[in-house]
Chains A and B, each alone.
Chain A
């Protein structure tokens, strides 16, 4: 069982803070949470909303239908009334009028003013919501203290919230699940925490939504975690800095969105050519150029796989949720160090900004593997930065750390010592060496997550952040219909793991790709790598995230059309 509360208003009305309070209070009361954020790319005005979904079973995605609306302006009511359930409610100030019996107009402003701060009217509304769901005031004070740095403001909000609590009677009831010590975290925060756990010491980036929150988080931990966060003058500088710091031995990372990644492309090739490990977070937003800065899409898959001139090995991982994002970030650093390649974490705004309750990360699973050979070269052994080896991986030492040994790297084609070469044989040997790493890398790929049981007719394929929505859709579809559904959700997307795909697709009556883009890039990649052609696509590219309801609506449509088609054929 779960409820979905929408908080809406214009930018600058403090919805972020309200949502943060609500989700944190509910989380501490023991509920599972999934919060999705829908922002406009502006600092003031416009219409923004955040949906806090809470329940007593696992929540892996948002949903469209809402049970309650906190409307900070009348536009919120107009825009979202159609999604409100029959016995849902709207809380708004008495100044707003709207002809619908579900709308509860209350003296929010007056009560907030009475508690000393009219700006606390959102907290008054939160108080009413707690009461409506028959929840008590436990955890509230602690959370307010956490969210508001200033004690007087925390006190005013507490007062306002208490006043709201007295305004209504309870209507609904929901038992929390057992409080399990879970954490409430967004995808970008999980990436940042993963980077710190992996020992990232240098992060350079240029601000670009929706990647910036990685940099923000790391910046607040600079001194504590001893990580240098440098805001570069542009993305070209950002990636070249990260490569320089990595060359010098510090685990390094950069992050951006598609537009910034476009500027980084030459640097991506540099990491591969110099064989300097690098982790890049590319957090997608829709469209070429500026696009939809604050919204979500998965349309950079083929771009990041193919970006740069020349041919070289790279790895692309699309984290599926915050928990996955944490472990995959650690893994990205280890893979980058092991193979001395660029590893791209391909996220999107939906992953980046949505917060969800998650098992606390298991730090025992975090292993930092640097694959350094400093000690092997302490003696007389000659050091060749690009020594030709069977697996293509040359021993790496850190400049300055081995007396008598220097490290020369070069973006020109080079010989084993790093010296420029014009030789045809050396060029071929070096290219082969770099590409050999790919063959070994392929052995380490993680197969996609298989959701469902052995008995299915329709197989969905999806990637990255759609894991949650697909999982929920399967739960609903398999509960009711006689037709059975399963899914493969890819995390490793390049190189593409093929084994499980070949096995499951072979059993399916229909393979349907679900993607947050217009052209079905995963489907195209699958066809390119395996020859498997998807039988239908569920695609969305309006910038708003796919949810389970959308998948269910569309799969029914596709299957009905297929059925009609078959009947015509007969």
Chain B
């Protein structure tokens, strides 16, 4: 695959796993941005989805389980020239990393969050995740999950996220377009990507999703928050995919005066005379 700038490498994912298409879509979206690999940073936590940085030719950060968001945020703060993308799982993002997911939305740094939502813990062999549907039987939930699934899109909207979308790994072209729109948006963008796990989720299969997903059409107004809440909550027989909500908001960098303009933080020299001058406060 040497003809691509963002070439991908052999993965350890199961054949038929939705992650393959998500990786391909990410590659295509990045090709289309015109960026060079060294200008992009892909961050993951731990899990199957979180291995994405391993397989694509960009800067990559595979951190701790549940902790993809904090380093991604901070890397963007340090160097706003980097295009920062998080690729991680539903367990990683909404379970172990739930607190970071919530509070990072409030920061609105210009980072993109692609959640590979297979409604299951893949890497640890099939336990329920925060998005697993009620009644789903697993080894750890032998009588079916009794805890209600969370809806990450509704949660994100309620926290004021400026870009909320849903996509499906089975519709790659659409996924690429949603990813591109997220990358081009200025601010935090959440894309929850429905993804079959062929090995451990025998309920939400490719067919299960294919039967249910439908694309939001031209007539849909993604700036209407009320409508967005409705679409975000739609789950079951029909599941909308596309950009559910999009609105301009000041980013983290906009909100901090000395970051708004001037070079990225990493390129700012230490003004030693100024720092030395701070000693005057102690005289």
- Which residues of A are at the interface with B, using a C-beta cutoff of 8 A? 28, 181, 183-185, 189, 193, 196-197, 199, 201-202, 204, 221-226, 228, 230, 232-234, 236-238, 240-250, 252, 266-267, 270, 274, 360-361, 363, 366, 368, 398-412, 418-420
Contact = CB atoms under 8 A, between A and B. Distances in A.
B59 A408 contact: yes
Given A201-B268, A244-B73, A224 B79 contact: no
A234 B46 contact: no
B64 A408 contact: no
B265 A228 contact: yes
Contacts of B58: 406
B257 interface: yes
Interface of A is mostly: mixed
A86 to B, nearest CB: 35
Given A236-B67, A237-B99, A408-B59, A403 B36 contact: yes
A185 B75 contact: no
Interface of B: 12, 36-39, 41, 43, 46, 51, 53-54, 57-64, 67, 69-79, 81-82, 99-100, 102-103, 256-259, 265-266, 268, 270-272, 274-276, 278-279, 282-283
Nearest to B44: A410
Given A201-B266, A363-B272, A400-B39, A249 B283 contact: no
B253 to A, nearest CB: 10
B265 A240 contact: no
Nearest to B66: A236
A245 B64 contact: no
A250 B78 contact: yes
B71 A193 contact: no
Tell me which of B37, B58, B79 has the highest count of chain A C-beta atoms within 10 A of its own C-beta.
B79
Given A228-B259, A250-B78, A408 B70 contact: no
Contacts of B57: 406
Nearest to A28: B283
Nearest to A190: B282
A419 B54 contact: yes
B102 A399 contact: no
Contacts of B270: 196-197, 199, 368
Given A240-B70, A248-B266, A411 B38 contact: no
Contact of A244 (B38, B53, B61, B257): B61
Tell me which of A360, A399, A408, A412 has the highest count of chain B C-beta atoms within 10 A of its own C-beta.
A399
Given A411-B46, A411-B64, A244 B72 contact: yes
Given A244-B75, A408-B60, A420 B51 contact: yes
Contacts of B81: 400
B191 to A, nearest CB: 21
A250 B62 contact: no
B99 to A, nearest CB: 5
B41 to A, nearest CB: 6
Q: Which 4 A-B pairs have the closest CB atoms?
A: A244-B71, A244-B74, A248-B78, A240-B70
A181 B62 CA distance: 50
A399 B38 contact: yes
A226 B283 contact: no
A368 B282 CA distance: 23
A361 B277 CA distance: 11
A232 B79 CA distance: 19
Contact of B282 (A185, A237, A245, A247): A185
A400 B39 CA distance: 5
Contact of B41 (A202, A232, A399): A399
Contacts of B51: 420
Given A249-B79, A406-B37, A233 B73 contact: no
Given A196-B275, A243-B71, A412 B62 contact: yes
Contact of B274 (A189, A225, A244): A225
Contacts of B256: 222, 228
A324 to B, nearest CB: 16
Given A233-B102, A245-B77, A420-B54, A407 B282 contact: no
A233 B278 contact: no
A230 B77 contact: yes
Interface of B is mostly: helix
A409 B62 contact: yes
A143 to B, nearest CB: 11
Contacts of A237: 67, 69-70, 99-100, 103
Contacts of B259: 228
Contacts of A403: 36, 38
B77 A202 contact: yes
Contact of B64 (A181, A202, A266): A266
Contact of B71 (A234, A247, A361, A405): A247
A230 B276 CA distance: 23
B249 to A, nearest CB: 18
10 contacts: A196-B275, A224-B274, A233-B103, A234-B99, A237-B67, A248-B76, A363-B276, A403-B36, A404-B36, A409-B61
B79 A241 contact: no
B64 A270 contact: yes
Contact of A248 (B36, B82, B282): B82
A252 B69 CA distance: 17
Contacts of B77: 202, 228, 230, 245, 250
A402 to B, nearest CB: 7
B79 A399 contact: yes
Contact of B265 (A202, A366, A400): A202
A247 B61 contact: yes
B78 A201 contact: yes
Nearest to A182: B283
B257 A248 contact: no
A241 B70 contact: yes
B70 A181 contact: no
Given A193-B275, A400-B81, A410-B60, 9 more contacts: A189-B282, A224-B278, A233-B100, A236-B99, A267-B67, A270-B63, A270-B64, A400-B38, A407-B60
Tell me which of B36, B70, B276 has the highest count of chain A C-beta atoms within 10 A of its own C-beta.
B70
B172 to A, nearest CB: 24
A206 to B, nearest CB: 11
Given A193-B279, A223-B258, A202 B74 contact: yes
A547 B83 CA distance: 54
